[in-house]
DNA sequence: CTGGCTGCAAATCTTTTGCATCCTG
DNA sequence: CAGGATGCAAAAGATTTGCAGCCAG
């Protein structure tokens, strides 16, 4: 049995064709796609697909820790199926998001925490990507 | 002349009462307010205020580097008038955002950058705030 | 005075909801 | 076969736009 299906089954949620199609699109996807991108892609081979279903499926997947909702784009939700700890390089010109596979343990002095229990961190590095730097230097 | 007005004048944009009221609300505000919160507060003493104006003013202020738009809340835009480098502690229970006044210079190995020119970073620390930890431990 | 700004309403976009129907387990 | 999932349409929220009238510089 395919890995994807095996992983899906382990969630103990109904395996519908729509969910499989979305999961299939997300598998290994490094584009941090928006709902719109997911809908457009999946509905090509699944014309009856509705936005409501995409939202439903994504919310389910987030709840089951299969994908993460990321808040880098203030205009819309984006989703990341890459669940290992990692960070993002965000190009301020083209808004592209590049994964950075590293794990930083950043110490914050007790007195700055004000009783906050630290559980993890996510770093957004911003700058200019190679392609954009190549284009024009304004 | 008040500091606020002085700062505003230096932007060389028209100083309207609406803009002053919004700037006044934002001055020193550590709540990372949404457009709705800003609108609700400012329209109390300025009943004719419209959402469009709040959006217009905020976009202008962002463009002039007076406030930052922050992408921590995936559901709506939030704004931060605190322009110095700082990071955020985000409570995963109540979603409160606490400023962390530190400056981390995080080195990323050349080979991970893939030609990306690093310009800065913003860290989102997540965990549970003191109040929420006090409440219930589920 | 004049160009930029405001206020209003309508448009657009994103996300949610209600509900009848469908289909996986 | 039952309960959860889908599809559709409508609603709710967030943000933008067009435009006439206003006012700060």
pLDDT per residue over A12-24, tens digit each?
899 999 999 999 9
* Cα gap B61→B76, rounded to integer Å: 18
Q: How does residue A136 score in pLDDT terms, banded at 50, 70 and 90?
A: low
B42 with B93, same domain: the answer is: no
* Residues from chain B contacting residue A116 (CB–CB below 8 Å): 89, 91, 98, 125, 127-130
A40 with A61, same domain: the answer is: yes
B61 with B107, same domain: the answer is: no
Strands (E), chain A: 68-70, 78-80, 87-91, 97-100, 117-128
Q: How many Cβ pairs closer than 8 A exist between chain A and B? A: 106
**CATH number of the domain bearing residue A13:** 1.10.10.10
Tokens for A124, please give them: 């957004």
Q: How much is the mean pLDDT over chain A?
A: 91
**Closest chain B residue to the Cα of A132, Cα to Cα:** B116
**CATH number of the domain bearing residue A128:** 3.30.1490.190
Collect the ranges in chain B with pLDDT lower than 70. Answer: 1-4, 136-138
β-strand pairing of A97-100 with B78-80: unpaired
Average pLDDT value for residue range A124-129: 94
Tokens for A128, please give them: 């200019």
* Cα gap A126→A94, rounded to integer Å: 11
Average pLDDT value for residue range A39-68: 96
pLDDT recorded at residue B94: 85
A69 with A30, same domain: the answer is: yes
pLDDT per residue over B33-59, tens digit each?
999 999 999 999 899 999 999 999 999
B112 with B59, same domain: the answer is: no
Comparing C-alpha atoms, which of A13, A35, A14, A15 is closest to residue A25?
Answer: A35
pLDDT recorded at residue B11: 83
| Total domains in the fold of chain B | 2
Q: What number of H helices and E strands is found in chain B?
A: 6, 5
B71 with B98, same domain: the answer is: no
Average pLDDT value for residue range A30-46: 96
pTM of the model: 0.90
B9 with B76, same domain: the answer is: yes
Interface contact A112-B129, CB threshold 8 A:
no
Comparing C-alpha atoms, which of A38, A103, A40, A97 is closest to residue A71?
Answer: A97
Domain residues for the domain of A51 are 2-80
């Amino acid at each position: 049995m395919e890995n994807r299906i095996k992983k899906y089954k382990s969630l103990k949620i109904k395996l519908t064709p729509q969910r499989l199609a979305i999961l299939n699109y997300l598998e290994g996807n490094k584009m941090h796609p928006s709902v719109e991108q997911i809908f457009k892609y999946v509905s090509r081979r699944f014309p009856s697909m509705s936005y409501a279903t995409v939202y439903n499926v994504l919310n389910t997947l987030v709840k089951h820790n299969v994908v993460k909702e990321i808040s880098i784009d203030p205009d819309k939700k984006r989703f990341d199926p890459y669940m290992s700890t990692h960070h993002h390089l965000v190009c301020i010109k083209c808004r592209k998001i590049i994964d950075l596979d590293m794990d930083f343990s950043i110490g914050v002095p007790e007195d700055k925490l004000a009783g906050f229990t630290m559980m993890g961190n996510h770093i957004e590095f911003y700058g200019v990507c190679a392609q954009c730097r190549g284009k024009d230097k304004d």
